[in-house]
A and B are shown apart, each in its own frame.
Chain A
Amino acid sequence: MGAKWFGASVRRKEDPAFLRGKGRYIDDIKLPDMLHAAFVRSPHAHARIGRIVKSAALAIPGVYAVLAYSDLPDVVRRQMLPLLVPHPSISQPLLPYALAKDEACYVGEPVACVVAENRYIAEDAAQLVEVEYEPLPAVNDCRAALEPGAPLAHTGSDSNVAAEFPVSVGDTDSAFRGAAHVFREKIFQHRGGPFSMECRGAVAHYEAATQSHTLYVASQGSHRLKRCMLDMFELGDNQVRVVTPDVGGGFGPKGSYYPEYVNIAVAAMTLNRPVKWIEDRRENFLTTHQERDQFWDAEIAVDGDAKILGVRGRLIHETGAYVPWGIVLPWISATTVPGPYVIPNFKLDVVSVFTNKIQTTPVRGAGRPEAVVTMERLMDRVARELKLDPAEVRRRNFIRPEQMPYEVGIIFRDGRPVTYDSGDYPASQAAALEAADYAGFAGRREAARREGRYLGIGFANAVEATGIGPYEGATVRVSSTGKIAVYTGAAPQGQSHKTTLAQIAADQLGVGFEDVTVVTADTAIIPMGIGTFSSRTAVNAGSSVHLAAIEVCAKAKQIAAGMMECSEQDLELADGFVRLKGAPEMKRSLREIALKSIGMPGFSMAGGLPPGLEHTAYFAPDRATYSNGTHVAEVEVDIETGSAKILRYTVTHDCGRVINPMVVDGQVIGGVAHGVGNALLERMVYDDNAQPISTNFGEYLMPLATDVPHVDLVHLETPSPLNPLGLKGAGEGGTIPAIAAIISAVENALAPFGVIIAEAPITPQRIVELLGEHALGRTR
């Protein structure tokens, strides 16, 4: 089958509705008799909860219910929210209850749920719910949490350690003993948030007659949320349906399961009316999961030629108040450190620590940007100490393409050894430096210096595990109209699944792109699903569509062969028909074949084939496939104001074969902007009592159109051998090396002042502080 659609920058199916204001996002859903919920949330980072008085709230006309923990059904009261990824290293598997039971452990933790006729009244009433709090000492920093005598994030536990585990390969301590040079960096990386433009939200609908729940939710995967609902309410499979409508951005945290979903389902059941909850932006700052608070203490050992002998250290990862995703984040961080380099000996001791802050769970990049910052800071340090070009230090340490597949020697979070399947890392760096005119930078820097301006260049390499299992599925069906329907559990939030999956199906079935409709993320359309996160959908759902479409083709030929009295080997699919090769006027339409395969009442089925011109495939990858890339940032730093402006930004990106180049460019360039925010702007500030003090877009700075650079993008294409279409993931590669490249460039610009940067973000205020420390002779 020729690839007519695959590989083309096809315009998106999603766009016409979105552009006309006809999208259907969660807050656009309006059910008859729907009520609205608002939450009473803890104003303290840590507090014991006493009496809750509801009478004033209930007295407001239009208020239907005020639920506290004690009002929840037994089944909900007796269990914490589910731990999504359990692991034996988790010593304290603490998760929240649907409403705080007797203790609140972060600012914003839900304490009561108010349901009213509209949101205005619900919010009025929420303010009138009186809650007695006894404030408890709070811990606001992952390093402080490990100090002796630190406040405990949870009363009754004996430490703030949630989990501890080592990641190691080789004999690291021996390697360090024999090394010519050892360098150590201590790096703190600060959290930020996803800040999708649409906040979270859900609508719960309970049908008493069938005792079943329907939850509409702005999520990144309906099926996992359904399984959480079944666990939480102890229901049968038939009693919960979860539907994800159009989603206004996710970036990770919409993949989590949150207490609000449980509460509105309880309210809908209790009141027998649909209940909607839409998060406001302040709640979004307080209660939607965030990421990136990590403290790294890492050492690198190299020989006299700057070849890496080993890397070792300790990672303190902040999980916040609970561990909803277990150790997924620090594990990804730890296993991402080696990246594209040969590191024969590696040992990282990882500890995941509780604080009284909102939980950290994957945000675009998911633990990888932090690891890349650490590794690339170490590489820059080696270059500086040994007076070598940073590009040369990396060249000497790259895994060579002929070493593929390459076993890193450690175990990834999918339980499989980290084995890079393919990629050409030296070529990636070389192409990026060429496109960025790295060789000409010294001239540009000198010219700028003559004008009193400070330019710097920095770059970073990354290797990214994508397309992880366990699976995603797709049903490809030729409907009785002859049009194609593709159903999948994948849950797009802007990634263009409805376009890219249709491209794959159209090619395989020999139909027009416009004849394919992709339906996503509804548990009623396909039995099993995982969701869209971790750059996994093209690989998993894309492969499933491809495999299912192949089966549908085979079945169409089988049925048509019977109808046309010929051999199926002589048939081909094109233009919506199965036709005889060499005599294309001899043909049957897919519609005719579909009707034949559906059958007629009372007549026996043709050929004994299972009914329906359709097939469901679940592609289950053996292991992750690894994308890679290089980012080069050229910046100008104003040494008076501390402002850093990105003058030029170059990316090479290899995500294997590309379904739709326009869509991949959009993913990568958008990802860079997220990295720019993490590198230069975004700070989620907490005071000493873990009280968040940056809770709006005036205080927390998101990258604007004037902050992000034009990105020059170079595609490399090393197909993955691990799936039928040669795909790798593309959703996060724009973000992962960006922070490392940008802070390296800022440091490079400030090299005349000896400023060393070991943190992210690096804001204008911090740059001025660091320059001041230099002026006072305090830099190292």
Chain B
Amino acid sequence: MADSMADTRRIIVTVNGRTYARDVETRMTLVDFLRHDLDLTGTHVGCEHGVCGACTVLLDGRSARACLMLAVQCSGREVTTVEGLAVDEKLNSLQQAFQDNHGLQCGFCTPGMLMTLSEFLRDHPDPSESEVREVLSGNLCRCTGYQAIVAAALDAARRIREGA
């Protein structure tokens, strides 16, 4: 056990456009690395078994569960977290649609919702409600009943299509 703790590797990973070189324990999860080593605490830990989706990030542009990955698996790759969405403190279209539609209450599942939807809306610019519900079924929310999140996603899709 003591040996495994001493087992560290150097990784080079790009997060939200900035490149970090860090020594990490091989057993450290990506979400712990983001939160505790890089102080990017926007990515949340909800279940640590890959079901709730709160820790969803984009890895080379595809959504991934940061609780089910090791930081060392991300060396040489590009990670986007919720902190990478707003440009110069201005909320992006998806974030603004969440506020306007009351798509969040406690805010804990929200970063994962935003990352899942960022990928989805990029690939599906004009989704139906049932497609949005389907893609959201990998992210748990206990506060909203999802209705306002679905509305926010559809509203965001419209804004993005219209170039808002």
Contacts and interface: CB of A to CB of B under 8 A. Distances in A.
B24 to A, nearest CB: 11
Contacts of B108: 23, 25, 196-198, 248-249
Contact of A21 (B5, B83, B98, B137): B83
Interface in B117-156: 132-134, 136-137, 139-150
User: A-side binding surface: helix, strand, loop or mixed?
Assistant: loop
A19 B114 contact: yes
Contacts of A16: 91, 99
Given A19-B98, A19-B110, A197-B108, A27 B41 contact: yes
Given A15-B104, A21-B81, A494-B107, A669 B44 contact: no
Q: Among A14, A671, A704, which residue has the most Cβ atoms of chain B within 10 A?
A: A704
Given A21-B43, A198-B44, A697-B51, A705 B146 contact: yes
A708 B46 contact: no
A506 to B, nearest CB: 19
A62 B45 CA distance: 24
A575 interface: no
Contacts of A313: none
Interface in A171-214: 194-199
Contact of B27 (A120, A248, A666, A698): A120
Contacts of A27: 35, 41, 45
Contact of B145 (A18, A194, A246, A669): A669
Contact of B91 (A19, A706, A711): A19
Interface residues of B, number: 60
The 9 closest A-B pairs by CB, nearest first: A21-B42, A248-B108, A18-B107, A494-B106, A494-B105, A673-B145, A21-B82, A697-B51, A705-B136
A179 B1 CA distance: 73
Nearest to B134: A706
B86 interface: yes
A61 B6 CA distance: 11
Interface in A10-68: 11-12, 14-16, 18-23, 25, 27-28, 30, 60-62
B4 to A, nearest CB: 9
Contacts of A704: 136-137, 140, 146
B100 interface: yes
Q: Among A12, A18, A697, which residue has the most Cβ atoms of chain B within 10 A?
A: A18
B108 to A, nearest CB: 3
A710 interface: yes
Given A19-B110, A281-B49, 19 more contacts: A14-B107, A19-B114, A20-B42, A20-B86, A21-B81, A23-B107, A194-B142, A196-B106, A248-B109, A281-B46, A666-B144, A669-B144, A670-B144, A674-B142, A674-B145, A697-B51, A705-B141, A705-B149, A734-B145
B29 to A, nearest CB: 10
9 contacts: A12-B99, A195-B142, A197-B108, A249-B106, A494-B107, A662-B102, A666-B102, A702-B142, A708-B146
B106 A705 contact: no
A362 to B, nearest CB: 15
B83 A669 contact: no
B133 A706 contact: yes
A249 B143 contact: yes
Nearest to B85: A20
A248 B102 contact: no
B147 A711 contact: yes
Interface string B60-89: 000000000000000000000111011001
Contacts of B1: 60, 124
B83 to A, nearest CB: 4
Given A120-B5, A197-B44, A19 B106 contact: no
Interface in A704-737: 704-706, 708, 710-711, 734
B58 to A, nearest CB: 13
Interface string A78-94: 00000000000000000
A259 B81 CA distance: 35
Contact of B102 (A12, A20, A62, A195): A12
A20 B2 contact: no
A663 interface: yes
B54 interface: yes
Q: Among A199, A248, A493, which residue has the most Cβ atoms of chain B within 10 A?
A: A248
Contacts, number: 180
A421 B74 CA distance: 60
B40 interface: yes
Interface of A: 11-12, 14-16, 18-23, 25, 27-28, 30, 60-62, 120-121, 124, 194-199, 246-249, 251, 278, 280-281, 493-496, 662-663, 665-666, 669-674, 696-698, 702, 704-706, 708, 710-711, 734
A717 B49 CA distance: 44
A370 B72 CA distance: 49
Contacts of A663: 102
A281 B148 CA distance: 26
A21 B112 CA distance: 10
Interface of B: 1-2, 5, 25, 27-28, 35-36, 39-49, 51-52, 54, 81-83, 85-86, 89, 91, 95, 98-100, 102, 104-111, 114, 132-134, 136-137, 139-150
Contacts of B81: 21
Contacts of B141: 197, 705
A114 to B, nearest CB: 14
Nearest to A21: B42
Contact of A698 (B49, B104, B148, B149): B49
A197 B147 contact: no
Contacts of A674: 142, 145
Nearest to A660: B102
B95 A19 contact: yes
Contacts of A672: 145
Q: Among B82, B140, B145, which residue has the most Cβ atoms of chain A within 10 A?
A: B145
B111 to A, nearest CB: 5
B124 to A, nearest CB: 15
A124 B4 CA distance: 11
Nearest to A127: B1
B51 to A, nearest CB: 4
B75 to A, nearest CB: 19
B106 A21 contact: no
Contact of A198 (B39, B46, B48): B46
A670 B145 contact: yes
Contacts of A197: 44, 46, 52, 54, 106, 108-109, 140-143
A121 B106 CA distance: 31
A27 B39 CA distance: 11
B44 A248 contact: yes
B140 A702 contact: yes
Contacts of B140: 197, 697, 702, 704
B147 to A, nearest CB: 5
A60 B2 contact: yes
Contacts of B2: 60-61
B158 to A, nearest CB: 18
A573 B1 CA distance: 68
A592 B118 CA distance: 48
Given A281-B48, A697-B47, A697-B52, A706 B137 contact: yes
Given A60-B2, A249-B108, A19 B44 contact: no
Contacts of B28: 120
Nearest to B86: A20
Contacts of B132: 705
Contact of B51 (A22, A121, A698, A705): A698
A706 B132 CA distance: 9
Contacts of A734: 145
A194 to B, nearest CB: 8
B44 A15 contact: no
Contacts of B54: 197
Q: Among A494, A496, A670, A673, which residue has the most Cβ atoms of chain B within 10 A?
A: A670
Contacts of B89: 20
A671 B145 CA distance: 7
